[in-house]
A and B are shown apart, each in its own frame.
Chain A
Amino acid sequence: MLDHNYDGIRELDNNLPPWWIWGFYLTIVFAFVYLAHYHLFRTGPLQTEEYNIAMQEAADQAKARELKMKDFVSAETITALNTPEALGAGKGIFEKNCVACHGAELGGSVGPNLTDDFWINGGGIKNIFKVITDGVSAKGMISWKSQLTPKQIQQVASFILTKHGSNPVGGKEPQGEKYVEETISAPLTDSISVDSTIIVNQ
């Protein structure tokens, strides 16, 4: 017992419990090892690297799936579907995900009118597929590839094409370039491949 007395409170001076001291030392050692591992020897992946590793893994897995999948479609191989099942599925997907921005009749609101001849990112099944897949994130059109399979994107893109020329009431004024079907073999516009997820260190 120490000779301290504060308003009747006395103090003992027990030794620090050894497990406590050693625990404290251990955490200090941990701190140095951790910092050295990540920042001195750089043996551990920092977040950008971790991110890139994860993205690479996902890309590899996606590639492997493409090879396995019979009905896989890509921007190069896609064709418009016209079976009632496919178009019905496309309509369902549109109603669930796209109506908020493109309107129930595809006349456009936040997003552009999808029924006219004018396309900001190019018309035709290939361009439409590509926009839906990759999005135009800077303009508010998100990339749907993490939520819809290529097959589903093909279905919804095909559904959009069936509405061409439907001229819904209250549709938005045309935006973009007039698209003529003949140019279908033209190279895909690459302005749409804005990828907001690339992280660079300046």
Chain B
Amino acid sequence: MTIEKFSYDNRIVKNFALATIIWGIVGMLMGLIIALQIPFPGLNIGEYLTFGRVRPVHTNAIIFAFVGNGIFMGLYYSLQRLCKARMFSDGLSKFHFWGWQSIIVLAAVTLLTGHTTGKEYAELEWPIDILIAVVWVAFAINMFGTIIKRRERHMYVAIWFYIATVVTVAVLHIVNSIEIPVSILKSYSAYAGVQDALVQWWYGHNAVAFFLTTPYLGLMYYFVPKAANRPVYSYRLSIIHFWALIFLYIWAGPHHLLYSSLPDWAQSLGTVFSIMLLAPSWGGMINGLLTLRGAWDRVREDVVLKFMVVAITAYGMSTFEGPMLSLKSVNAISHFTDWTIAHVHIGGLGWNGMLTFGILYWLIPRIYKTNLYSAKLASFHFWIATLGILFYAVPMYWAGFTQSLMWKEFTADGILKYPNFLETVTQLMPMYKLRALGGAMFLTGAIVMTYNLVKTMKQGTLNAEEAAEAPALEKNEKEHGGHWHRWIERRPVQMIVISAVVILIGGIVEFIPTFLVQSNIPTIESVKPTLHWNCKEEIFISVKVVTLVTHKWCDLSVPKLNAMVNIPKQESLYMIIHSNGDRSEQVRTYIVKEENIQMYGITII
């Protein structure tokens, strides 16, 4: 047996870590801006910094820039060590890094200048979609190449999650982004109406599942046992919850379309698969938390573990809440209200945010061969971030319930008690202010972390090429028994193929009948869909109106809306179409006089 010498590439890990920190601050700052724009509409400055433009920048920056780079940072660090191999190709690593950063910059510029497809979390226009696909494939090759040339016979559970992530995100992105370009920065989705909604939320929900959840579970499986120096609680639990999770998740998308024109059977599938997701999700939480068994005394002292405990707990909370929200009776209360926003931020701030911070505090000192600059500051960060989450979530739950109750309250005469939507918004102003405070606290924590980590980097030196050695894998090694699952852990190709099959089933079962069977779709007599792919005019809408209406807002183009409502256009008046992104079921119309357009910050292009 020959021992091979090689080195781990820590420079790429450092680059992704810096990107995570920088984009994290940018994304959170964008979030703070939109949070403040609601109680203080004067902050909608000019055309580019209006709520409608900044909101998608916030969501994209957090998901794809902050969490995305966080995934790559943790994955490039852990994959090399779990495979006992350097990344497959330094060139691909670099291409992946710079490609991803340029996508982020392009995303910010195009969204702020009003170029959007209007599909939530898939707002980017077609040239950027292509770039994303190219960079993702490069990343996939780099990752699978590393796995193929590994020096560790079996793939650890973290790698199963990475594989499922890379495969599924590719499928989701490509299928949902099929669109017909009409100009360099405008395209229309190939899907329309309820089919579009189904594809969009199959994508949207699984963006949550396979971008915010499975890769982070992979990171949890590596960094939690590492930081706690404890064995993983249960191998067999990791097997069953992994396969159950990736199989069940893909079916759950329709829970975003309850009480819509989506056929009832598809809605019901969304509900029951979400309920069945509860146990597999909690399987991950149990495996994370119980790995810390016997290390609880250390949790009290070690800030890294503290961040991780809060992250895993938040994961458990949002994956309990999610299935509840998928029940129609609960969704009838929560949908369109700030309850959803509260739910999302337990997941986003708690699970993704806190885990990222924990990993950063663990990893930076290690690759810089030094100790953390200040444990005190890190502890301060932990507390202000935890409080920030509470200050964010509690007011939003409150706001959600209040909205829901007010929207449905009738007077003795049988008419709506608050027919004017604005009344329900002004009522919530104190909650919106508190939420902004929570966000500001969370951001403050992140800024303190940045300072702390920069100081840490300054006092150490980057160990860019970390020397390592391991015996090469022997060809034709005899397979010795063990658990049946060891079979696939030795076979990356089979792992890729089988997980691809497992994640394709749900989508196929839901798509085919919805696309092919006309009688599936309930129709509203007076609404006649039309297609206007060559419509010259687009009205991009933003801000104050939106602030008055709701803060869930995406720019929408007229052609798409024409398919849903009849829009009269007058010389002096413009109709404002309000809708929650792509949700065709929620369209409100407003008419605003021309002189108010300036005041409302509406841009007509």
Contact = CB atoms under 8 A, between A and B. Distances in A.
B415 A148 contact: yes
B414 A65 contact: yes
B123 to A, nearest CB: 29
Contacts of B570: 109-110
Contact of A27 (B238, B259, B267, B276): B276
Contact of B415 (A24, A28, A38, A147): A147
Contacts of B226: 7-9
A83 interface: no
B300 interface: no
Nearest to A99: B593
Nearest to A138: B526
Given A9-B232, A12-B233, A196 B268 contact: no
A128 to B, nearest CB: 19
A13 B236 contact: yes
B472 to A, nearest CB: 17
A180 interface: no
Nearest to B271: A34
Interface in A182-200: 194-200
B544 to A, nearest CB: 16
B509 interface: no
Given A12-B232, A202-B518, A27 B275 contact: yes
Interface in B258-302: 259, 264-265, 267-268, 271-273, 275-276, 278-280, 282-283, 286, 290
A30 B235 contact: no
A92 interface: no
A9 B231 contact: yes
A199 B414 contact: no
A10 to B, nearest CB: 4
A48 B589 CA distance: 24
B398 to A, nearest CB: 27
A4 B525 CA distance: 63
A201 interface: yes
B522 A31 contact: no
Interface stretch (A15-23, A74-82, A117-125, A160-168): A15-23
Given A1-B231, A47-B264, A101 B591 contact: yes
A48 B272 CA distance: 20
A6 interface: yes
Contact of B240 (A6, A16, A38, A148): A16
Interface in A108-167: 109-110, 137-140, 145-149
Interface string B512-525: 00000011011111
Contacts of B524: 196-199
Interface in B112-157: 152, 154, 156
Nearest to B570: A110
A61 interface: yes
A30 B275 contact: yes
B591 to A, nearest CB: 5
A201 B522 CA distance: 5
A67 interface: no
B536 to A, nearest CB: 21
A168 to B, nearest CB: 15
Contacts of B286: 17, 20
Contact of A39 (B268, B279, B413, B419): B268
Contacts of B156: 4, 6, 9
B416 interface: yes
Interface residues of B, number: 62
Given A4-B154, A9-B226, A138-B566, A202 B519 contact: yes
Contacts of A137: 526
Contacts of A30: 272, 275-276
B225 A16 contact: no
A27 B290 CA distance: 23
A169 interface: no
A140 B154 CA distance: 65
Contacts of B46: none
A55 interface: no
A43 to B, nearest CB: 13
Contacts, number: 151
B161 to A, nearest CB: 13
A110 to B, nearest CB: 5
A6 B566 CA distance: 61
B366 interface: no
Nearest to A26: B279
Contact of A34 (B152, B272, B416, B568): B272
A9 B273 CA distance: 33
Contact of B519 (A12, A58, A201): A201
A23 B278 contact: yes
B234 A12 contact: yes
A65 B225 CA distance: 66
B526 A16 contact: no
B235 A31 contact: no
Contact of A6 (B152, B237, B280): B152
A81 B296 CA distance: 77
A16 B575 CA distance: 58
Nearest to A151: B413
B526 A194 contact: yes
B527 interface: yes
Contacts of A139: 566, 568
B81 interface: yes
B591 A35 contact: no
A109 B573 contact: yes
Contacts of A11: 231-232, 234-235, 238
B572 interface: yes
Interface string B550-561: 000000000000
Given A4-B235, A12-B235, A16-B240, 6 more contacts: A13-B235, A24-B280, A31-B273, A58-B414, A199-B522, A199-B523
30 contacts: A4-B154, A4-B156, A4-B235, A6-B152, A8-B226, A11-B234, A12-B232, A12-B235, A14-B237, A16-B236, A17-B286, A20-B283, A23-B282, A31-B273, A31-B275, A31-B276, A34-B275, A39-B264, A47-B264, A100-B591, A100-B593, A101-B573, A109-B570, A137-B526, A145-B415, A149-B415, A194-B526, A196-B527, A198-B524, A199-B522
The 8 closest A-B pairs by CB, nearest first: A24-B279, A31-B272, A10-B231, A147-B419, A14-B234, A6-B156, A7-B81, A196-B526
Interface of B: 78, 81-82, 84, 152, 154, 156, 222, 225-226, 231-238, 240, 244, 259, 264-265, 267-268, 271-273, 275-276, 278-280, 282-283, 286, 290, 412-416, 419, 518-519, 521-527, 566, 568, 570, 572-573, 575, 589, 591-593
